Structure 1
Amino acid sequence: MEYRRLGASGLMVPALSFGAGTFGGKGELFGAWGSTDAREARRLVDICLDAGVTMFDSADVYSDGASEEVLGEAIKGRRDRLLLSTKTGLPTGPGPYEAGTSRSRLIKACEDALRRLDTDHIDLFQLHAFDARTPIEEALATLDELVRAGKIRYPGVSNFAGWQLMKSLAIAERYGHPRYVAHQVYYSLIGRDYEWDLMPLAVDQGVGAVVWSPLGWGRLTGKVRRDRPLPAQSRLHRTADFGPPVDEERLYDVVDALDEIAEETGRTIPQLAINWLLRRPTVSSVVIGARDETQLRDNLDAVGWELTPDQVARLDKASAATAPYPYFPYERQEGFARLNPPLDLRAAASRP
């Protein structure tokens, strides 16, 4: 397993992390993802640790907290061998104190997560979404208190817009609070919006990307293809509306390109899609999930090798999309491009 710095911090994280969204299995969305119990989860954690996957990610909204509980059971006896990452901020109930990132909510959410995970500290504690009702200063000051108390090691965010993240970083610097070191983001071959604004920001500010849904919400498994109906057992029948929209023709073009490269390399489509992400700028870790051992082992084989430059170029071309304003002039007009050259993939990529 390759290990990388998490953004500009000193924390080393594995190139692949394990997402515990399939643990617990409560509710419409997470019930469709999976229903792994503690015994099965322990086996998956064993496989991850043997492969060098040492970071495990969850959230309080995953199966109403059951994901964290199952993960806590699964890691008993080896807490010192791994990193725990979790998230809070999204609504966990209808009450006024069950959503957001106010001081009272963050303190309670952290205490609840520590209890469910059965640990005394969380390595990466992330705000799951930007809370426009709570002053940024309040959220940052509270995270600072939690860091000083030893309850969390590093703060991060997830699903922030560029201005929300940049403003937060500026306020943290102004008051001497810990800066966000990670941004957990959606990024895939069929979802490259991260590249237009958030990636240049991350390069400039030293924020590491922790990528969720690297297989495009389950569309890059090899089961969805041109002129082939969605399999009856696909979770997309129940969960597609929860994820970002995807242009079908672009999806099929990407899968066609992946099929060709799979023939050349003997790799599976998921392995190719994940490996492509691992070579992108700012990517510190890609979160993989699995319902069972077979799926997990297949995803783990996405590391230890690299696509050729030609194969990367073909995937880039198949997955390319026109950037929205104000970004498209930098791609299409010489004067704008001269002032804003493309990111250097090798120099900008996160490395130890």
Structure 2
Amino acid sequence: MQIRLLGRSGLAVSELCLGTMTFGNTTSDTDSIAMIHSFLDRGGNFLDTADVYVSGRSEEIVGQAIKERRSEVVLATKVRFPTADHPNGAGISRKHIMDGVEASLKRLQTDYIDLYQMHVWDHATPIEETLRTLDDLVTSGKVRYIGCSNFLAWQLMKSLGTSELNRYVRFISIQPQYSLVSREMDREMISLCLEENVGIIPWAPLGGGFLTGRYNREEPTSGRLTAKTGESSWQVRSTEKNFAILDIVERAAAELDKTPAQVALRWLLQQRGITSPIFGARTLEQFQDNMGAVGWELPQEIWDRLDAVSALPSEYPNRFIAKFARPL
């Protein structure tokens, strides 16, 4: 497994990040711990969880699995969503962050978090308050680095500017939804991250399972895409463009003797600006399949074919800017 630096930092992370959202829910404790140990044994070091995953149970399982191997793990978790039924039980205010980090540290059985991420923007809290709080946590040693997730481009840029102006600690990464069937980040976020050297660790790199090859044009009766609403719903994923993308993925998989999931993950691993896609697995079989995305290269011709079929339509102002770009 290759190692990459995360954003403008010296933090070395594996090219794949193991996501743990299903741990303690659709994935048993035993299988969850087995996945973590296998991931570490095979050169991975980057684990991602959140305080709201299975009401904190995911963090507990991760903490149990890594307590004897803590120093070799880059441990990421998140704060923002409701964890208590009172007015300060959500958000990225100083109070909720301070309460959240203490609770996460306890569940994770550790005295520090490597990467503490804001799960989504909080319109109710000034970003200065959030970043000052995170700066204090880094100074105290309870947090080593900070990141964000699900931000708009202006929100990330405002955060980076606030940190620079006040000499606060800076976001080194963002965790957005990004895959062959969800490339909205190409509009502004990817170019911003490249310009500001912010690492990108995409969630849902397989489109909620759509890119695994499990689905056809018939509405499914099982799996994540049976959801009626949300990002991983059949309504969101079942477009003609997405099925055209899936056709190319499946053809490439057959040509390369790989699985569709491996091809879709490999495309991301070779995408400029992407540090570590976060993959999840409900079963040990799915875990093994996803791990097969490393150790080989997608031929450029096939990468280009996937890029072309999944690209966003030409849109203003990007097409206007490109028209008048000056050669370097």
- Normalising by structure 2, we get a TM-score of 0.95
1:94 deviates by 3.7
Residue in structure 1 matched with residue 120 of structure 2 by the alignment: 129
- Stretches of structure 1 lacking an aligned partner (at least 5 in a row): 26-33, 342-352
1:53 deviates by 1.2
* Paired residues of 1:155 and 1:182 also in contact (CA < 8 A): yes
Structure possessing the higher relative contact order (Cα contacts under 8 Å, 6 or more residues apart): 1
1:49 deviates by 0.8
* Paired residues of 2:210 and 2:237 also in contact (CA < 8 A): no
What is the SS of the residue equivalent to 1:283? coil
**AA matched with 2:225:** L
* Paired residues of 2:17 and 2:277 also in contact (CA < 8 A): yes
- Cα 1:254–1:234 shift into 2, 3 Å: same
Q: Deviations over 1:284-308 (max 9, x none)?
A: 1111111121111110110111111
- Cα 1:168–1:251 shift into 2, 3 Å: same
Find out whether 1:235 has 2:224 as its counterpart: yes
Residues 132-147 of structure 1 mapped to structure 2, 5 A cutoff = 132-147=123-138
Residue in structure 2 matched with residue 24 of structure 1 by the alignment: 24
Residue in structure 1 matched with residue 12 of structure 2 by the alignment: 12
* Paired residues of 1:7 and 1:282 also in contact (CA < 8 A): no
Distance, in Å, in 2 between the alignment partners of 1:209 and 1:83 is 15
- Cα 1:185–1:221 shift into 2, 3 Å: same
1:91 deviates by 2.2
Question: Which moves more between the two structures, 317-326 or 105-114?
Answer: 317-326
Find out whether 1:36 has 2:17 as its counterpart: no
Residue in structure 2 matched with residue 275 of structure 1 by the alignment: 266
1:246 deviates by 3.5
Distance, in Å, in 1 between the alignment partners of 2:264 and 2:34 is 25
- Stretches of structure 2 lacking an aligned partner (at least 5 in a row): none
1:224 deviates by 1.5
What is the SS of the residue equivalent to 1:124? strand
**Residue among 242, 247, 267 paired with 1:251:** 242
Distance, in Å, in 1 between the alignment partners of 2:210 and 2:315 is 24
Residue in structure 2 matched with residue 286 of structure 1 by the alignment: 277
Residue in structure 2 matched with residue 161 of structure 1 by the alignment: 152
**AA matched with 2:28:** T
Find out whether 1:296 has 2:262 as its counterpart: no
**AA matched with 1:232:** T
**AA matched with 1:36:** S
Residue in structure 2 matched with residue 317 of structure 1 by the alignment: 308
Residues 1-352 of structure 1 mapped to structure 2, 5 A cutoff = 1-25=1-25, 34-37=26-29, 39-225=30-216, 228-238=217-227, 240-243=229-232, 245-246=236-237, 248-330=239-321, 334-335=323-324, 338-339=325-326
1:329 deviates by 3.1
The alignment-based identity, stated in percent, is 40
* Paired residues of 2:208 and 2:224 also in contact (CA < 8 A): no
Question: Which moves more between the two structures, 97-106 or 76-85?
Answer: 76-85
What is the SS of the residue equivalent to 1:154? strand
Q: Deviations over 1:299-324 (max 9, x none)?
A: 01101111111101110121122154
Aligned length: 326
**AA matched with 1:6:** L
1:340 deviates by 8.9
1:171 deviates by 0.7
